[in-house]
């Protein structure tokens, strides 16, 4: 089992290839996971859409959303996808220095997005929209909170890669590991593209 866990072997990128398919098992597993995540977020988004008009005991979504602020944080997350893909591109070229730089930048942009979400949640609570205030608030905080947890997990993965790189254990032959973390990160971005449009930009009910 220890052999399986080792990531130091130069041939690590080839160990995960499925027999006969020529496709990496690890990458395939990530895509299957992301396919299943579509169902998780689909459920959360649908629940929000069903409950978004049920806000009689608190503020309405149309009254409380700060679109300019959320637009900026959406742009930040979108650009983190660019820095993520630049990190992978750098590692594919064997450019370890730029790989570290872009990994760290991606993690920082992700942290900025999470900071914005914490600020938004704090503002909402101050304005009387708590988690249990109304069915709308519960559905909203659950959906955006789950997304925030996903971003946070992504930041942990990015920082793990960054630390591995500093320790010299993330080299060009491990580019598939960075690519798989990148797939997760881009998926989190894609989910936000959907949430930003459907939850924030499509006109919401007002009180």
Q: Which of 169, 197, 206, 207 binds another protein (CB under 8 A)?
A: 197
Q: What is the number of other CB atoms lying within 10 angstroms of the CB of residue 20?
A: 6
Please tell me whether residue 5 binds another protein under the rule CB under 8 A. no
Among 133, 122, 140, smallest CA distance to 58 is for 133
Task: Please identify which residue in the block is written with the tokens 């708590």.
Answer: 130
The residue (of 25 and 169) whose beta carbon lies closer to another protein is 25
The residue (of 46 and 128) whose beta carbon lies closer to another protein is 46
End-to-end CA separation in angstroms for the chain = 59
Please tell me whether residue 12 binds another protein under the rule CB under 8 A. no
Please tell me whether residue 20 binds another protein under the rule CB under 8 A. no
- What is the contact mask toward another protein in residues 66 to 105, using x (rule: CB under 8 A)? -xx--x--xx--xx-xx-xxx-xx--x-------------
The residue (of 84 and 151) whose beta carbon lies closer to another protein is 84
Rounded to 10°, the helix 25-51/175-195 angle is 10
CB-CB contact of 57 with 134 (8 Å): yes
Q: How far is CA 189 from the centre of its chain?
A: 5
Please tell me whether residue 206 binds another protein under the rule CB under 8 A. no
Residue 117: both structure tokens together: 């979400």
Please tell me whether residue 39 binds another protein under the rule CB under 8 A. yes
Q: Vertex 135, ends 134 and 138: CA angle to 5°?
A: 90
Contact positions vs another protein (CB under 8 A): 17, 21-24, 27-28, 31-32, 34-39, 41-43, 45-46, 49-50, 53, 67-68, 71, 74-75, 78-79, 81-82, 84-86, 88-89, 92, 179, 182-183, 186-187, 189-190, 193-194, 196-198, 201-203, 205
């Amino acid at each position: 089992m220890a052999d399986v866990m080792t990531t130091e072997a130069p041939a690590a990128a080839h160990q995960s290839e499925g027999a006969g398919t020529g496709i990496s098992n690890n990458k395939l597993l990530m895509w299957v996971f992301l396919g299943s995540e579509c169902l998780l977020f689909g459920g959360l988004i649908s629940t929000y859409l069903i409950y978004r008009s049920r806000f009689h005991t608190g503020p309405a979504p149309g009254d409380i959303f700060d679109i300019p602020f959320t637009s900026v944080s959406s742009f930040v997350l979108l650009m983190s996808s660019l820095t993520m893909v630049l990190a992978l591109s750098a590692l594919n070229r064997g450019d370890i220095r730029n790989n570290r730089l872009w990994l760290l930048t991606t993690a920082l942009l992700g942290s900025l997005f999470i900071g914005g979400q914490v600020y938004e949640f704090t503002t909402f609570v101050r304005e009387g929209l708590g988690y249990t205030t109304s069915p709308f608030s519960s559905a909203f905080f659950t959906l955006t909170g789950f997304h925030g947890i996903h971003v946070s997990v992504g930041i942990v993965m990015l920082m793990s890669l960054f630390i591995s790189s500093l320790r010299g254990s993330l080299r060009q032959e491990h580019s598939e590991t960075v690519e798989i973390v990148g797939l997760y990160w881009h998926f989190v971005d894609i989910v936000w593209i959907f949430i930003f449009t459907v939850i924030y930009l499509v006109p919401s009910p007002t009180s």
